[in-house]
Structure 1
Amino acid sequence: MTMADDTDRYGRVSRVLHWGMALLILWQFLSAGAHFLLGDTAVEEFFWATHKPLGLLLFVLIFVRVLWALMNVSRRPQSVNAAAKAGHIALYMLLVIVPGLALLRQYGSGKSFEPFGIPLFSGFEGDETPWMVAPGDLLHSWLGWVLLAIILGHIFMVVWHRRSASQPDVLPRMWR
């Protein structure tokens, strides 16, 4: 397997980014589910402590992934159809927007943010900045669940393509 993509399948870098991000996203939804369903428990505390740092890691990785995709755009496997292309674009957009809103909210709240012990930004005294906090309060969680729905649709379509005799099996492109 080569590092770069080719017209038949994705290369090693694309696969590592895809499956690594899939595991991080799964962890994010486990932490969000624990926070929502198991508030004030040891399980919730264990998962929730990782939510913001891993969200930032996903935010960075989506930019790496987009850059890598653009570098390989002429070599990548073609989308099966326009719906698949639109679904992938929606996934990429939400993987930027959801953590982006959280970062904006964090900064506007006046609280410091030191993921993995790295000071990303310090807090400030005084009132929070409403125009920064409000979009995150309104949309971060909701769009996160929309992202989950699209991810589940993505998984469903991969399985459907794999089992349908009239459709190309797309799983070998990303999994060998």
Structure 2
Amino acid sequence: MTQTQMKTALPLRDTPQLYGRITRLLHWSIAALMLWQFVGMGLKLALGRQPIVAFFVGSHQKVGTVLFVLIVLRVVWALTNRRNRPHHGDGVVGLAARLGHLALYGAMILVPLSALMRAYGGERGFAPFGFPIFAPQQPPIGWMVQFGELLHGELAWVTLALIAGHVLMVGVHEGMWRDGTLTRMAGRRRA
């Protein structure tokens, strides 16, 4: 590796200037899987029972399970890198960024937790990828199923709204403020 390549190589861990390879991998993997989940649920609402809908919705539990694992890893990784990450800024804008990220992380954790609660209390059990995690409840634990049902879908749409706000703010950072926020997560190091 040449000296120039070593200077531009993306670090594994986060730095105050940019997010490292692991953060980026987790971020964009979660983004892609979230997109899959929301496209499937949007198609279900728009089209009802159609083959294309079954293609997406049939994988909802499996994709959700992978998402939950990635989100937990993302939270743990963010906590271990919290002192090395790019700063969100000071003042009201920095506070809004921190609160927005906290709300997004909270929603991303609560959505699958509510699905797990629903599954634990339900009569079908939970066996993603064929590995039993929760046995079916006979009789079902009604309050768990109802509470999980109530939270899962509603919080998922709240999460989508938070994601839309997140994307909108990236546009503001790049289009108006030109501060390199997108570059720190998606692009190369600034020269």
TM-score, with length taken from structure 2: 0.87
Q: 2:114 matched to which residue of 1?
A: 101
Letter in 1 for 2:132: P
2:189 pairs with 1:174: no
Partner Cα distance (1:141, 1:36) in 2: 12
Match of 1:111 among 116, 121, 124: 124
Letter in 1 for 2:23: S
Letter in 1 for 2:110: I
Cα-Cα RMSD: 1.2
Percent identical pairs in the alignment equals: 43
Letter in 2 for 1:56: T
Q: Residue 120 of structure 2 contacts residue 137 of structure 2 at CA under 8 Å; is this kept in 1? A: no
Shift of 1:28: 0.7
Q: Give structure 1 regions of 4+ aligned residues with deviation exceeding 2 angstroms.
A: none
Letter in 1 for 2:26: L
2:142 pairs with 1:133: no
Q: 1:157 matched to which residue of 2?
A: 169
Partner Cα distance (1:100, 1:31) in 2: 20
Shift of 1:88: 0.4
Unaligned runs of 5+ in 2: 1-9
2:16 pairs with 1:3: no
The number of aligned residues is 174
Shift of 1:131: 2.0
Mark the structure with the bigger radius of gyration: 2
Partner Cα distance (1:139, 1:4) in 2: 34
Partner Cα distance (1:30, 1:122) in 2: 30
Unaligned runs of 5+ in 1: none
Shift of 1:169: 2.7
> Counterparts of 1:1-176 in structure 2 under 5 Å?
1-80=10-89, 81-125=94-138, 127-165=139-177, 168-176=179-187
